[in-house]
Amino acid sequence: MTGSRVIGVMLLILWSVSLTAEMVPIQSPSVQFINQHNSDPALQFSDHSIDVDDQRLHYVSAGTGKLILFYHGFPSYWYMWKNQLLDLAADYRVVAVDGLGANLSAKPNELAPYHVSALSRQLKALVEALVGDEGFVLVGHDWGGALAWSYAQQYPQGLDKLVVLNAPPTNLFLELLRSNPDQRKASTYIARLKDAAQNQTVDEKYANRMASFAYGSMVNRGLISASEGELYKTALTRPGAVVGGIKWYQANIPELDKITDDDFWPSTKASTEVESMLIWRGRHYLRPRLYRPTTQLCKRSTDRSPTGCEALASTGGSG
């Protein structure tokens, strides 16, 4: 074999090794943790991503069957659904998203990608990539819950059921901010967050303080382990993660005295025909007595008060 052929073969081998290495999925720290501490070794979670409108959306998946898609709120990330993922993955295909701006998803500087209309389009593209036009269940909490409501209002096709924890539809929340003094008082934190981002005071120390406030007490109460607390801290203190979360507020909530009908999406009176369940817990940013307008967006509603919750509304139909 000539010297040039030897060199050519060696380059081919090196190229093949490089290509193989690129094809091997690299697990994120949280996926490594959930797989290492999972009681069922046959159940393994994996990292994935999809690019929509030039924005990368990271998500984690496991299991097979009907899709249940989870979307978190601020200041969290996909791991907040750990218990639900582990419980449901034996019978369903579970997918948990890192919302735009969070953890391993893209963190664009401009506000337009964070608007609920753009986020809904991104979510729709993810659903189509995962299951096409097959039916699925959408679960959301906080901002992820508000997004889930808006998604159900605009894109009900294929969405079999909607489950939302402590979040009204975006259009209802804007109306409450525009017209309800109690809600304005309860939501003063939004202005503080927006001011911090506007004044560029959201730095590493700010992110660490937010992580300690949000998750330190959960560790102290035994709700999550110290190791899990570090995972949450790592996700929240990634460069741009806190600012990315605040951009959700900046992109969707104008100054309260300047809210107009043009700020509502899909519209001021948009409702959904998707069978929906709203799970409500007290001591939250939306006043407990104000959850009822959410159920008015549906034809049928029943209210009950399970232990640990101030109200739970199971709703279906359109308003």
In a domain, 60, yes or no: yes
What is the pLDDT, as a whole number, of residue 27?
85
In a domain, 6, yes or no: no
Q: Which residues contact 97 (CB under 8 A, 6 or more apart)?
A: 57, 58, 59, 69, 70, 71, 72, 78, 105, 123, 126, 144
Mean predicted confidence (pLDDT) in 176-201: 90
* Rounded distance between C-alpha atoms, residue 136 and residue 145, angstroms: 16
What's the token pair of residue 156? Answer: 């009900």
Of the candidates 216, 173, 289, 228, the residue with the CA atom closest to the CA atom of residue 34: 228
Q: Could you tell me the residue range of the domain that residue 230 belongs to?
A: 25-316
pLDDT at 21 over 80: no
* Rounded distance between C-alpha atoms, residue 121 and residue 31, angstroms: 26
In a domain, 228, yes or no: yes
319 band by pLDDT with thresholds 50, 70 and 90: very low
| Least confident piece of the model among 178-182, 248-252, 306-310 | 306-310
In a domain, 64, yes or no: yes
What's the token pair of residue 192? Answer: 């503080």
What is the pLDDT, as a whole number, of residue 280?
80
Beta bridge partners of 60: 47, 96
Beta bridge partners of 46: 61
Q: How many domains does the chain have?
A: 1
In a domain, 187, yes or no: yes
What is the pLDDT, as a whole number, of residue 285?
56
In a domain, 303, yes or no: yes
DSSP 59-107: EEEE--SSEEEEE--TT--GGGGHHHHHHHTTTSEEEEE--TTSTTS--
Give the CATH number of the domain where residue 66 resides. Answer: 3.40.50.1820
Of the candidates 300, 293, 301, 317, the residue with the CA atom closest to the CA atom of residue 156: 317
In a domain, 10, yes or no: no
What is the pLDDT, as a whole number, of residue 203?
87
In a domain, 20, yes or no: no
* Rounded distance between C-alpha atoms, residue 134 and residue 186, angstroms: 39
